[in-house]
Chain A
């Protein structure tokens, strides 16, 4: 059928099983918005307060559903406002398609009003991007963009559509949604070498990240752990990959990881890593990281193998398929000595547990745990509250932890929590801090307008806590620009946006606030007051090793 470029864009999104898009209109994308109006019964558009909120919402939608998130913005500032969100998705390998308008092709390169070279700007933060040259190629370009976004290691793709392409007409035949490009297992010889290494080891440790989740390799990984009697740890991005109470699961390792998980990894003689990238927050000082251990590294992206840490056995391939081939080569073996050593480490962690009463981060989040359903998406922003959430929130189902690990984007949470709630149809929770919430709180307007069931828990300590923690530890308590001392009343703010809110200064008040929040139809903000000198512990100082770990203050 003969359609305008704008109609082709919207109809192709519908063809790709897209049920909701997030965005913000503007002059150079107005034709697409006209088509969204025309097809509004088939494709829901959620209007954000700011393009950054829209792209984070599309990202949160993608993280919570496993589908491709879609965001639409106009040219110039609309496009540049997407940049932080696209970079966030890129660093965490989240499938996203961003569609931007641009000026007429004939005006490109002439510094027209609201013209920007968004493909140039997003070159290093997209898997691929396009400037569409004619309406004829639009359908194929969008289909290819979806294929790239969800194939192999997922990631964001941007399509820049000049205005004349939106107006121009082309013949299109629609079909069905594209499938990810089929991937292969690692080479047999690499798998059998890795199997030998695993069969010979005494102290194995299985370490997974976001790639294991997107690869859906949970059951194969758990089978491997059972066969070789290995404890399991994960990276930040691996959280919610398996239920928190899975036997043998030690939780997140790394800079603020669980002591037992980091220590077991440190003492292991063989680390079987899958879908991880060994970044600096994971390894600390690389020269001292897991010395003596053999590393078996499975990843769909060959460029991750030996990128930062030498993989003795680098297995490039789809994780699930590779594990399926690996499992028959693995000899079942019980390792009572290693098991009891790990149990001792876990006991050490328990002995150092925070047992204080009152409004400690741990108590706040453990109370929250009681209100979380198996399917509740929990989003966070970035900072201390994020690490506390990573440590204390208990997950029962996958894709429930909606948090950005790679870029560390404060302000991510509001949009992401909205996108996760809309994508899953579940009430979502945002655990945030007063600093992060301040960055993108304008999206409260979106949550209210869309009547999103959303509990915003602001762990309000009046400071930029994570930076302050570093200033306490490494800068002699010079609290440079980290004391907020703002007069914002978050309860009144919630009410001003048309939402509800409550303040909690005690655990009793918090309990009441949770009861009200989790029975509220729309968004509910809890201003939860905590001490400004709460620390995230344990902590591996930046560039440090397990020898430098700070378990308790005063260590």
Chain B
């Protein structure tokens, strides 16, 4: 089993996200994170998918995705990739826990984006593992709410996904 992340360039058409997620559902692919965004071109959207599985499963996922008419290109994002995720986390604010929470937040480079008498909110932009660790740390206190974006990632250097067009 290995973690992997795929960048999938798709035509920016109505319903394309539904096609991709419908494929994951019916073929029983377990997806850890999925983000969709606009790209440098209005013709394309970019889907970043991360999952865990054997090579066979990863290859199936890529091969099945390629069969969708609207999939233009797929790139597996390896170590030569800049990858990050955004977390918003809302903690209960009490006099007893306040200092410990703020110390941890500072250690993780979290930005305080909201602060009230009974709650505080942090924003963390980092790789998924560090975000996981920060959340784990926060479990010692009272987490009110979490929202995270899923991974966005780009390859280093001048190479782009459009150059990987296998179709």
Where the two chains meet, the residues of A that have a C-beta atom closer than 8 Å to any C-beta of B are 119-120, 123-124, 127-128, 131, 148, 153, 301-303, 305-307, 310
> Which among A124, A153, A307 is the interface contact of B60 at CB below 8 angstroms?
A307
Please, which residues of chain B bring their CB within 8 A of the CB of A127? 67, 69
**A interface SS class:** mixed
Please, which residues of chain A bring their CB within 8 A of the CB of B56? 306, 310
Decide if B106 is an interface residue (CB 8 Å cutoff).
no
Q: Which residue of B lies closest to A181 (CB)?
A: B167
Please, which residues of chain A bring their CB within 8 A of the CB of B60? 303, 306-307
Decide if B142 is an interface residue (CB 8 Å cutoff).
no
> Which among B19, B26, B63 is the interface contact of A303 at CB below 8 angstroms?
B63
Besides A120-B18, A306-B60, 4 other A-B contacts (C-beta < 8 A):
A124-B22, A124-B23, A301-B67, A303-B66
| A123, B19: Cβ atoms closer than 8 Å | yes
| A302, B15: Cβ atoms closer than 8 Å | no
| A119, B64: Cβ atoms closer than 8 Å | no
Residues facing A in B1-56 (CB within 8 A) are: 14-15, 18-19, 22-23, 26, 56
| B22, A303: Cβ atoms closer than 8 Å | no
- Given A119-B15, A123-B19, A123-B22, the answer on whether A303 and B67 have CB atoms closer than 8 Å is yes
Decide if B160 is an interface residue (CB 8 Å cutoff).
no
Kindly provide the distance from the CB of A358 to the nearest chain B CB, expressed in whole angstroms. 47
Kindly provide the distance from the CB of B89 to the nearest chain A CB, expressed in whole angstroms. 35
- Given A124-B26, A127-B69, the answer on whether A303 and B15 have CB atoms closer than 8 Å is no
Q: Which residue of A lies closest to B56 (CB)?
A: A306
Q: Which residue of A lies closest to B65 (CB)?
A: A303
Decide if B59 is an interface residue (CB 8 Å cutoff).
yes
Most buried by B among A123, A127, A131, A305: A123
Q: Which residue of B lies closest to A305 (CB)?
A: B63
Q: Which residue of B lies closest to A310 (CB)?
A: B56
- Given A124-B26, A148-B69, the answer on whether A302 and B18 have CB atoms closer than 8 Å is no
Please, which residues of chain A bring their CB within 8 A of the CB of B18? 120, 123
Q: How far is the CA of A29 from the CA of B60 in the complex (A)?
A: 39
Please, which residues of chain B bring their CB within 8 A of the CB of A131? 14
Residues facing A in B117-133 (CB within 8 A) are: none
Q: How far is the CA of A451 from the CA of B151 in the complex (A)?
A: 62
Q: How far is the CA of A153 from the CA of B18 in the complex (A)?
A: 22
Write the B61-105 contact mask toward A (1 if CB under 8 angstroms, else 0).
001101111000000000000000000000000000000000000
Lowest 7 A-B CB distances belong to which pairs?
A303-B63, A128-B69, A302-B63, A124-B26, A303-B64, A123-B22, A306-B56
Please, which residues of chain B bring their CB within 8 A of the CB of A305? 63
Q: How far is the CA of A306 from the CA of B56 in the complex (A)?
A: 7
**B interface SS class:** helix
Please, which residues of chain A bring their CB within 8 A of the CB of B69? 127-128, 148
Q: Which residue of A lies closest to B167 (CB)?
A: A181
User: What are 10 A-B contacts defined by CB distance under 8 Å?
Assistant: A120-B18, A123-B22, A124-B26, A148-B69, A301-B67, A302-B66, A303-B63, A305-B63, A307-B60, A310-B56
Please, which residues of chain A bring their CB within 8 A of the CB of B68? 128
Kindly provide the distance from the CB of B21 to the nearest chain A CB, expressed in whole angstroms. 10
Please, which residues of chain A bring their CB within 8 A of the CB of B19? 123
Please, which residues of chain A bring their CB within 8 A of the CB of B63? 301-303, 305
Kindly provide the distance from the CB of A28 to the nearest chain B CB, expressed in whole angstroms. 20
Q: How far is the CA of A306 from the CA of B59 in the complex (A)?
A: 9
Please, which residues of chain A bring their CB within 8 A of the CB of B26? 124
Please, which residues of chain A bring their CB within 8 A of the CB of B67? 127, 153, 301, 303
Kindly provide the distance from the CB of B55 to the nearest chain A CB, expressed in whole angstroms. 9
Q: How far is the CA of A128 from the CA of B66 in the complex (A)?
A: 12
Q: Which residue of B lies closest to A304 (CB)?
A: B63
Please, which residues of chain B bring their CB within 8 A of the CB of A302? 63, 66
Kindly provide the distance from the CB of A12 to the nearest chain B CB, expressed in whole angstroms. 19
Q: How far is the CA of A307 from the CA of B15 in the complex (A)?
A: 27
Q: How far is the CA of A148 from the CA of B56 in the complex (A)?
A: 27
Please, which residues of chain B bring their CB within 8 A of the CB of A306? 56, 59-60
Please, which residues of chain A bring their CB within 8 A of the CB of B23? 124
Please, which residues of chain B bring their CB within 8 A of the CB of A310? 56
Q: How far is the CA of A332 from the CA of B71 in the complex (A)?
A: 43
Q: How far is the CA of A148 from the CA of B64 in the complex (A)?
A: 16
Q: How far is the CA of A119 from the CA of B69 in the complex (A)?
A: 14
Kindly provide the distance from the CB of A182 to the nearest chain B CB, expressed in whole angstroms. 13
Kindly provide the distance from the CB of A317 to the nearest chain B CB, expressed in whole angstroms. 13
Kindly provide the distance from the CB of B41 to the nearest chain A CB, expressed in whole angstroms. 20
Please, which residues of chain B bring their CB within 8 A of the CB of A123? 18-19, 22
Q: How far is the CA of A127 from the CA of B66 in the complex (A)?
A: 12
Q: How far is the CA of A310 from the CA of B14 in the complex (A)?
A: 36
Q: How far is the CA of A435 from the CA of B68 in the complex (A)?
A: 37
Kindly provide the distance from the CB of B63 to the nearest chain A CB, expressed in whole angstroms. 4
Please, which residues of chain B bring their CB within 8 A of the CB of A303? 60, 63-64, 66-67
